[in-house]
A and B are shown apart, each in its own frame.
Chain A
Amino acid sequence: MVIPKNILKKGFNHPITWCITGSFLVFLSFLLSVGLGAVAIPLHVLIDAIVSFQPDNIKHQLVWEVRLPRAFAALFIGAALAVAGAIMQGVTRNPLADPSIIGVTQGAGLAIALCFAILSSGSYWMLLGWSFVGSAIASILILVFSNISKEKFSPVTIALAGVALSTLFSALSTGIALYFQVAQDVSFWFSGGLSGTKWDHVYILIPIVLIGLTLSLWISRPLTLLSLGEETSISLGQSNHKTRVIGLIAVILLSSVAVSIAGTIGFIGLIIPHIVRLFVGHEYKWILPSSAIAGALLLLTADVLARMINAPFETPVSAITAILGVPILLHLARRKRRSI
């Protein structure tokens, strides 16, 4: 990344400053996430475990087998969800677009319930594939919907359509789960959060998230123009169609991989881009990377909270993100209509 020349002029207010600060905070919360839990792990033990791993030391095992994969998953899933929300908001020009609000997450959930029902036990790849198909169908439905709706992309229309879709999907999931008697598996997985993360998941998660991020950065410039309005971007000679398709692919990749590991975690894609815009402005080349950083920070912290609030039991992390997210949603609902 080339550091722009005017960084000295703009000083601390430059997006890069925020990105660096954010990354530092992410690093700190990553350490917290590994260190805190039912058993606290001091920093020197953590360093020991990484530098000179002893298989018979139970704390070292804990770090490697439980804490590290979980922290990595929180990091990358948070980033994925936040970026998916940012892209959705740019493509639909709708401040309320977020994978969980518009039903993409629940679509993936339905597909996974189907997978449990039909295959009873599938490998993780299978689960991921189903989740991918489910979220793809849901996102395409919502895009088609907002294109043929008379009030194109009005925030309330898309939110209501999302309510309708997600209720439909979760009702179908419940029906399927009850009929095939896999209700327990499905609900365990839905609210499981990050607690069951293994290294196998992380190995698949990281490359997919990186692909999604790269795709999104590739369209960051056209996305900025698109968010200014369809006419503006067409008159500047860009193909909105291409931007939309690539954006959609990135959203589907990011949200489906997140859902397949962590279940339905909502609101990160809604909150983060709005907060990030306050700091780095409206250019997507900055919004996207800083959303990734802030999303990672949020999910890492929320996951630590989920472990600490009611220890030794876990509180579902989706409940925590919802409690954090709803005030932002209310704020958006109350503010005067303004484009993003």
Chain B
Amino acid sequence: MDWWLTFSRAMKWFLIFVFLIIFIFIISLSTGMIAISFHDILNTLIGNGTAKQELVLFQLRLPRMIMALLIGAGLALSGAILQGLSRNSLADPGILGINAGAGLTVVLCIYFLHGKYFTSPFFLPMFAFVGALTIAIIIYILSWQKGIEPNRLLLVGIGINALCGALLIIFQMKMDPRDFQKATIWLTGSIWGAQWKYVWALVPWIVILLPISFWQAKAMNIFQLGESVSIALGVHVERQRRFLLCISAALAGACVAVGGGISFVGLLAPHLARRLIGPNYYSLLPLSALIGATLLLVADMIGKNILAPADIPIGVVTSIIGSPYLIYMLLTRKNSGLQN
């Protein structure tokens, strides 16, 4: 019961973050354009609130915050898996261009099928998944040169990211104004238009992919020992890597489809988790998901309150928090920060 040992050792942190999430969730529920006291929230939750309070809580705040939690967990896991499979602590679906690839397919969808049945929230994650996977495969192939060298992977990713950005701009400029508005708001990574239907579109992806990625923890632990050791221990390195890449792309794609371009969560959360409990993926993956959810919940709360009544897109908030951290990581990393 190797995994249980690691898991229980990290239990303290799991509990801390679960409580943190509950705490922030309650604060975030009661703050915003219309302040609702804690007492009123409880009343509304058990069905005794006024119509206005019910509208604000159930139709506006709850879907948005649940979405933040799901997206945060999904992106954090996607980043953790990417970092594990490339053995590169700087990998992140945003930096590598996987998010941009997903975004590109979604914009193409809006462009070619504007308003038709395919753009319903349930189809968007699938298109985004296709885009994310395509980009992931392209990056993988382009950085392949007798193996994947971490630095090359990052550079290729940065390049592909720029390319997707350019294509995005070209297609956006060709759109009609209504679609353009829709695409722009969505691309900046804002979840303030969140509705229950988007939450329901995201839930199945997370529910299926979360356990699958936890189940892969053992393989990822072995990966960390290096390629030759993994082969000696009986892991099909390439097959396993491709499978993990698919999961990571699926998670990123689904999250981007509903949340837009939210960057740096996939970088930050696993990194913080690694600092707290070390590199064992049995506990690292769940803790990353928890931290990611916390981060996005906080970012959402900051975004809606700091410059109220203006609503700052959540992607902007995560960038402002995340990029200084990336610089700090670059400054302090030893030996490229890569576990070679």
List residues of A whose CB falls within 8 A of some B CB.
96, 101, 145, 148-151, 154-157, 159-161, 163-165, 167-168, 170-172, 174-175, 178-179, 191, 266-267, 310, 313-316, 318-320, 322-323, 325-326, 329-330, 332-334
Known pairs A156-B151, A156-B155, A329-B155; A168 contacts B324 (CB<8 A):
yes
| A167-B95 Cα distance, complex, nearest whole Å | 10
A78 to B: closest C-beta gap in Å:
18
4 cross-chain pairs, A with B, having the tightest CB-CB distances, nearest first = A171-B319, A333-B155, A322-B166, A168-B323
Known pairs A266-B162, A329-B159; A175 contacts B316 (CB<8 A):
yes
**Which residues of chain B (165-182) have a CB below 8 Å from chain A?**
165-167, 169-170, 173-174
Q: Taking the complex as formed, is B50 at the interface, i.e. its CB lies under 8 A from any CB of chain A?
A: no
**Residue among A101, A150, A170, A334 making CB contact with B145, cutoff 8 Å:** A334
B142 & A171 in contact (Cβ 8 Å cutoff): no
- List the B side residues contacting A168 at CB < 8 Å: 319-320, 323-324
- List the A side residues contacting B313 at CB < 8 Å: 174, 178
| A329-B188 Cα distance, complex, nearest whole Å | 25
| A314-B169 Cα distance, complex, nearest whole Å | 11
- List the B side residues contacting A171 at CB < 8 Å: 315-316, 319-320, 323
| A96-B152 Cα distance, complex, nearest whole Å | 13
| A233-B327 Cα distance, complex, nearest whole Å | 30
Q: Taking the complex as formed, is B163 at the interface, i.e. its CB lies under 8 A from any CB of chain A?
A: yes
**Residue among B156, B170, B320, B323 making CB contact with A316, cutoff 8 Å:** B170
B313 to A: closest C-beta gap in Å:
7
A170 to B: closest C-beta gap in Å:
8
- List the B side residues contacting A310 at CB < 8 Å: 173-174
A sample of 18 cross-chain residue pairs with beta-carbon separation below 8 angstroms, ordered by A number, consists of A101-B158, A156-B151, A156-B154, A163-B326, A164-B324, A167-B263, A167-B322, A168-B323, A171-B316, A175-B307, A175-B316, A316-B169, A316-B173, A322-B163, A326-B166, A330-B156, A332-B155, A333-B156
B163 & A326 in contact (Cβ 8 Å cutoff): yes
**Which residues of chain B (314-339) have a CB below 8 Å from chain A?**
315-316, 319-320, 322-324, 326-327, 330-334, 336
| A47-B289 Cα distance, complex, nearest whole Å | 67
- List the B side residues contacting A329 at CB < 8 Å: 155, 158-159, 162
B162 & A322 in contact (Cβ 8 Å cutoff): yes
Q: Taking the complex as formed, is B310 at the interface, i.e. its CB lies under 8 A from any CB of chain A?
A: yes
| A324 to B, closest residue via Cβ | B166
- List the A side residues contacting B158 at CB < 8 Å: 101, 159-160, 163, 329
**Residue among A149, A155, A314 making CB contact with B155, cutoff 8 Å:** A155
- List the B side residues contacting A156 at CB < 8 Å: 151, 154-155, 336
A333 & B320 in contact (Cβ 8 Å cutoff): no
| A178-B90 Cα distance, complex, nearest whole Å | 30
Q: Which of B90, B152, B158 neighbours the largest number of chain A CB atoms within 10 Å of its CB?
A: B158
Known pairs A159-B158, A322-B166, A323-B163; A179 contacts B310 (CB<8 A):
yes
| A191-B307 Cα distance, complex, nearest whole Å | 26
List residues of B whose CB falls within 8 A of some A CB.
90, 95, 142-143, 145, 151-152, 154-156, 158-160, 162-163, 165-167, 169-170, 173-174, 188, 263-264, 307, 310, 312-313, 315-316, 319-320, 322-324, 326-327, 330-334, 336
- List the A side residues contacting B327 at CB < 8 Å: 145, 161, 164-165
- List the A side residues contacting B324 at CB < 8 Å: 164, 168
- List the B side residues contacting A167 at CB < 8 Å: 263-264, 319, 322-323
- List the B side residues contacting A323 at CB < 8 Å: 163, 166-167
B142 & A334 in contact (Cβ 8 Å cutoff): yes
Q: Is the interface of A mostly helix, strand, loop or mixed?
A: helix
A319 & B167 in contact (Cβ 8 Å cutoff): yes
B124 to A: closest C-beta gap in Å:
23
A164 & B326 in contact (Cβ 8 Å cutoff): yes
A173 to B: closest C-beta gap in Å:
9
A315 & B263 in contact (Cβ 8 Å cutoff): no
- List the A side residues contacting B151 at CB < 8 Å: 155-156
A269 to B: closest C-beta gap in Å:
13
A314 to B: closest C-beta gap in Å:
8
- List the B side residues contacting A157 at CB < 8 Å: 330
| A73-B238 Cα distance, complex, nearest whole Å | 51
- List the B side residues contacting A333 at CB < 8 Å: 143, 152, 155-156, 159
| A183 to B, closest residue via Cβ | B184
| A312-B307 Cα distance, complex, nearest whole Å | 40
| A175-B310 Cα distance, complex, nearest whole Å | 10
- List the A side residues contacting B319 at CB < 8 Å: 167-168, 170-171
- List the A side residues contacting B90 at CB < 8 Å: 160
Given A168-B320, A179-B312, A267-B162, 15 further pairs, Cβ under 8 A: A160-B90, A163-B326, A164-B327, A172-B320, A174-B188, A175-B316, A175-B320, A178-B312, A310-B174, A318-B169, A320-B166, A326-B163, A329-B159, A334-B142, A334-B156
- List the B side residues contacting A266 at CB < 8 Å: 162
Q: Which of A96, A154, A157, A318 neighbours the largest number of chain B CB atoms within 10 Å of its CB?
A: A157
| A318-B163 Cα distance, complex, nearest whole Å | 11
A326 & B162 in contact (Cβ 8 Å cutoff): yes
Q: Which of A157, A164, A315, A334 neighbours the largest number of chain B CB atoms within 10 Å of its CB?
A: A164
Q: Which of A145, A151, A326 neighbours the largest number of chain B CB atoms within 10 Å of its CB?
A: A326
| A322-B152 Cα distance, complex, nearest whole Å | 19
| A156-B336 Cα distance, complex, nearest whole Å | 9
**Residue among A96, A322, A332 making CB contact with B165, cutoff 8 Å:** A322
- List the A side residues contacting B336 at CB < 8 Å: 151, 154, 156
| A185-B155 Cα distance, complex, nearest whole Å | 33
| A149-B336 Cα distance, complex, nearest whole Å | 11
Q: Which of A101, A163, A329 neighbours the largest number of chain B CB atoms within 10 Å of its CB?
A: A163
B160 to A: closest C-beta gap in Å:
7
| A168-B330 Cα distance, complex, nearest whole Å | 15
| A313-B177 Cα distance, complex, nearest whole Å | 13
B333 & A334 in contact (Cβ 8 Å cutoff): no
A179 & B307 in contact (Cβ 8 Å cutoff): yes
- List the A side residues contacting B322 at CB < 8 Å: 167
